[in-house]
Amino acid sequence: MIYDVAIIGTGPAGLSAAMNVKILGKSYVWFGSQNLSDKVSKAELISNYPGVGKITGKDLNEAFKRHKDELGLEIIEQMVNQIMPMGKTYAIMAGSEYFEAKSIILTTGIATIGTLPNETSLVGKGISYCATCDGEIYKDRTIAIICNAKRFEHEVKYLADLAKIVYYDPIYKDVTITHDNIERLNSRIVKIEEENSRVKGITLRSGESYQVDGIFCLRDGISLGTLLPQLELENNHIKVNRQMETSLKGIFAAGDCTGRPYQYTKAVGEGNIAAHSAVEYLSSLD
């Protein structure tokens, strides 16, 4: 199936985009978390989202979830790893599955975690963002895993079951995963060693080095340069015009990923515009 619109991200901008795409009668596929936005739900108090009064982030996120349910919006809980232009459509790789859509609305938020030097250029050459896609390649080999959210621990386990040795760099609290062959690092990975344009090892802040065959980066949010390298950026944000069109035909963006102010109200406004622009774009294809 070729979807009319793929929406990537379930924060306020993604929600606003998804609801309008559905109301406008287009087919859609929406990637993100059933819990919508961790960031919203952790906000202490929001005073300036017009119409809801002073509200905690938790309550606002719950209100967003109720609204999503009321409209019957469905979410696929998969990380989108890559988007590839395919002529008139785009291929979207989410987890180990492929999806295809005529247009895309990016609501990926801001990447709070920086990528490592060299990381982007070594994707597919030892750097992977997808355990289920590339795990098999590292059967009985030595790997490193950088992980920034507890909810990816099952992917860590999946990789540890395959690999011989796993050097583990968890960037979150409450690490509970243990495994025969997981060696938890006591210093952060700061450098990727390479040889002939392939990953060869890691160096820690402590100065120690280890040889590895591959590195898995399991992070919330993915750097835009990795997701869709063709996309034009401006001050580290996705460059858009007033219609929320990016530099690529059929790709729209909304919310924090398009720049400041980082505000929920701005995000929903832009999501709304992006959805309307996407639908107008679709009608131009007919």
Interface with a second copy (CB under 8 A): 12, 15-16, 19-20, 23-25, 47-54, 60, 63-64, 66-67, 70-71, 132, 136, 151, 153-154, 157-158, 161, 240-242, 259-261, 263, 265-273, 276, 279-280, 282-283
Burial class of 174 by CB neighbour count within 10 A (0 to 12, 13 to 18, 19+) = exposed
Going by C-beta distance under 8 Å and a sequence separation of 6 or more, which residues neighbour residue 222? 79, 80, 81, 108, 111, 129
Q: Let me know the angle formed at the C-alpha of 257 by 254 and 263, rounded to the nearest 5 degrees.
A: 75
> Which CB, 207 or 261, lies closer to a second copy?
261
Beta carbon of residue 202, minimum distance to a second copy (angstroms, whole number): 25
Q: Which is nearer to a second copy, 248 or 268 (CB)?
A: 268
Burial of 197 (0-12, 13-18, 19+ CB in 10 A): exposed
Tally the residues of the chain: 286
Minimum CB distance to a second copy, residue 92 (Å): 24
Cis? peptide before 261, omega within 30° of 0: yes
- For residue 102, the minimal CB distance to a second copy (Å) is 14
The minimum distance between CB 186 and a second copy, in angstroms, equals 25
Nearer to a second copy, 46 or 111 (CB): 46
Which C-beta is closer to a second copy: that of 97 or that of 234?
A: 234
> Least CB distance from residue 252 to a second copy, whole Å?
13
Q: Which is nearer to a second copy, 5 or 60 (CB)?
A: 60
Report, in Å, the least distance between residue 209 CB and a second copy: 31
Place of tokens 């069109």: 245
Cβ proximity to a second copy: between 31 and 264 the closer is: 264
Do the strands 97-106 and 89-94 form a parallel or antiparallel pair, or are they unpaired? antiparallel
Residue 263 backbone dihedrals phi, psi, to 5 degrees: -135, 140
In the numeric block, the tokens 């802040």 are attached to 205
Cβ distance 223 to 236 under 8 Å?
A: no
